[in-house]
């Protein structure tokens, strides 16, 4: 009994002094400087699901892998990016909604697809806007790109960056396309977006808006005669299996807006946000440096495929296309506004063909 009373009095004394001077455990828990989360791996593992529609061996697929590796490295493995290429999770018709609802954290749709939701984005799809790659870079990394990314300020979508693919070319099953008049007897698959639609309207072409990953089947059954795309997309999706003619026209540029779910972003610590920004910057630079070479590799693969007849527009034919497509600019200006339009025209003139 005596021992019991001694133990009891020690416990009571312990509790009272803890109440007076505070529990050490609480102190540690409330002071983050005791921890180094990254070193001790105490951060909860964060997974970013990144859905896109292109193949892995394309500029978008490879830039996404680069971004994933860089981010994992910068966060000591705390942030993992799970990439779902080839529309494995969502296709271009439902990826926007999936991002908004938080069913995925990242997508990277073609700029034309973003212009369905934010019409000002159509500026990047204007035909013959970029006479060379430097012009593309100036638009993507200058005032235009900045304005477009900052403009993504509602719909629970945060714009992270713009990624590169390459120039679009025309393929079809019927005959070699050389002049604007050649389009009027053809039916084309298109991406969504007002400028794309207007481009084909000016060429008097009938069109069907189809998901990227449905294009192959629709070419196969001849529902559409042709489509426009980069050489990396044409090769990786094997469009050449149902297309006889390829016209190298470089008439438009295909690139991407890299987007994140805004709520997800807001819930991240500032150090993770910084790592994402840093990984994104490096991955974008990598993509810019490698996109041309990746498309060139696919061009070589296509050229060694005997079944596709390749025709490159002459300077005179390209001028005819440009002239035929000029009205697309007037229509776009009504939505894009004169300031950005002036900017893109300045870039175009600076690098005129």
Residue 182 in contact with residue 253, Cβ under 8 Å?
no
295 near ligand LMR, judged by CB under 6 A:
no
Of 180 and 192, CB closest to ligand LMR: 192
Of 60 and 298, CB closest to ligand LMR: 60
51 near ligand LMR, judged by CB under 6 A:
no
83 near ligand LMR, judged by CB under 6 A:
no
Q: Residues 233, 235, 247, 262: which binds ligand LMR (CB under 6 A)?
A: 233
The pair of structure tokens assigned to 219 is: 């070419």
Q: Residues 48, 49, 60, 295: which binds ligand LMR (CB under 6 A)?
A: 60
110 near ligand LMR, judged by CB under 6 A:
yes
Minimum separation from the CB atom of position 58 to ligand LMR (A)? 7
212 near ligand LMR, judged by CB under 6 A:
yes
Of 175 and 216, CB closest to ligand LMR: 216
98 near ligand LMR, judged by CB under 6 A:
no
Of 79 and 231, CB closest to ligand LMR: 231
53 near ligand LMR, judged by CB under 6 A:
yes
Q: Residues 48, 71, 186, 191: which binds ligand LMR (CB under 6 A)?
A: 191
348 near ligand LMR, judged by CB under 6 A:
no
Of 245 and 256, CB closest to ligand LMR: 256
Of 110 and 336, CB closest to ligand LMR: 110
Q: For residues 19 and 41, what is the distance between their CA atoms, to the nearest angstrom? A: 32
Size of the site for ligand LMR (CB under 6 A): 10
Minimum separation from the CB atom of position 196 to ligand LMR (A)? 10
Minimum separation from the CB atom of position 233 to ligand LMR (A)? 5
3-state secondary structure the chain: CHHHHHHHHHHHHHHHHHHHHCCHHHHHHHCHHHCCHHHHCCCCCEEEEEECCCCCCCHHHHHHHHHHHHHHHHCCCCEEEEEECCCCCCCCCCHHHHHHCCCCCEECCEHHHHCCCCHHHHHHHCCCCCCCHHHHHHHHHCHHHHHHHHCCCCCCEEEEEEEEEEEEEEEECCCCCCCHHHHHHCEEEECCCHHHHHHHHHCCCEEEECCHHHHHHHHHCCCCCEEEECHHHHHHCCHHHHCCEEEEEEEEEEEEEEEEEHHHHHCCCHHHHHHHHHHHHHHHHHHHHHHHHHHHHHHHHHHCCCCCEEEECCHHHHHHHHHHHCHHHHHHHHHHCHHHHHHHHHHHHHCCC
Which range binds ligand LMR by CB under 6 A, 53-61, 73-81, 201-209, 239-247? 53-61
294 near ligand LMR, judged by CB under 6 A:
no
CB neighbours of 276 closer than 8 A, spacing ≥ 6? 71, 79, 160, 260, 268
Which range binds ligand LMR by CB under 6 A, 9-17, 36-44, 52-60, 136-144? 52-60
54 near ligand LMR, judged by CB under 6 A:
yes
Q: For residues 323 and 316, what is the distance between their CA atoms, to the nearest angstrom? A: 11
Of 54 and 324, CB closest to ligand LMR: 54
Of 78 and 295, CB closest to ligand LMR: 295
224 near ligand LMR, judged by CB under 6 A:
no
What is the largest distance, in Å, between two alpha-carbon atoms of the chain?
109
Interacting residues with ligand LMR (CB under 6 A)? 53-54, 60, 92, 110, 165, 191, 212, 229, 233
């Amino acid at each position: 009994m005596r021992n019991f009373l001694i133990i009891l009095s020690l416990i009571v004394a312990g509790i009272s002094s803890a109440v007076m001077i505070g529990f050490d455990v609480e102190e540690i828990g409330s002071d983050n400087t005791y921890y180094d989360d990254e070193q001790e791996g105490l951060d909860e593992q964060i997974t970013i699901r990144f859905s896109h529609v292109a193949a892995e061996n394309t500029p978008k697929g490879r830039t996404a892998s680069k971004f994933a590796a860089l981010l994992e490295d910068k966060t000591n493995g705390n942030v993992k990016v799970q990439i779902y290429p080839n529309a494995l999770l969502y296709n271009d018709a439902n990826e926007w909604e999936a991002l908004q609802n938080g069913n995925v954290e990242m997508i990277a749709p073609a700029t034309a697809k973003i212009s369905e939701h934010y019409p000002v984005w159509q500026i990047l799809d204007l035909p013959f806007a970029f006479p060379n790659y430097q012009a593309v870079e100036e638009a993507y990394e200058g005032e235009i790109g900045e304005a477009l990314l900052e403009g993504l300020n509602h719909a629970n979508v945060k714009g992270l960056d713009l990624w590169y693919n390459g120039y679009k070319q025309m393929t079809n099953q019927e005959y070699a396309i050389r002049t604007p008049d050649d389009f009027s007897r053809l039916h084309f698959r298109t991406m969504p977006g007002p400028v794309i639609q207007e481009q084909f309207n000016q060429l008097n072409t009938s069109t069907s808006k189809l998901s990227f990953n449905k294009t192959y089947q629709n070419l196969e059954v001849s529902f559409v005669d042709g489509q426009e795309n980069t050489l990396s997309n044409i090769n990786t999706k094997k469009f050449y299996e149902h297309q006889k003619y390829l016209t190298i026209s470089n008439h438009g540029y295909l690139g991407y807006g890299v987007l994140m779910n805004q709520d997800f972003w807001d819930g991240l610590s500032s150090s993770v946000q910084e790592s994402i920004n840093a990984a994104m910057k490096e991955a974008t630079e990598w993509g810019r440096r490698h996109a041309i070479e990746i498309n060139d590799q696919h061009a070589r693969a296509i050229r060694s495929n005997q079944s596709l007849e390749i025709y490159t527009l002459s300077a005179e034919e390209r001028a005819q296309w440009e002239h035929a497509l000029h009205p697309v600019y007037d229509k776009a200006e009504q939505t894009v506004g004169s300031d950005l339009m002036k900017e893109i025209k300045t870039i175009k003139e600076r690098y005129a063909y």
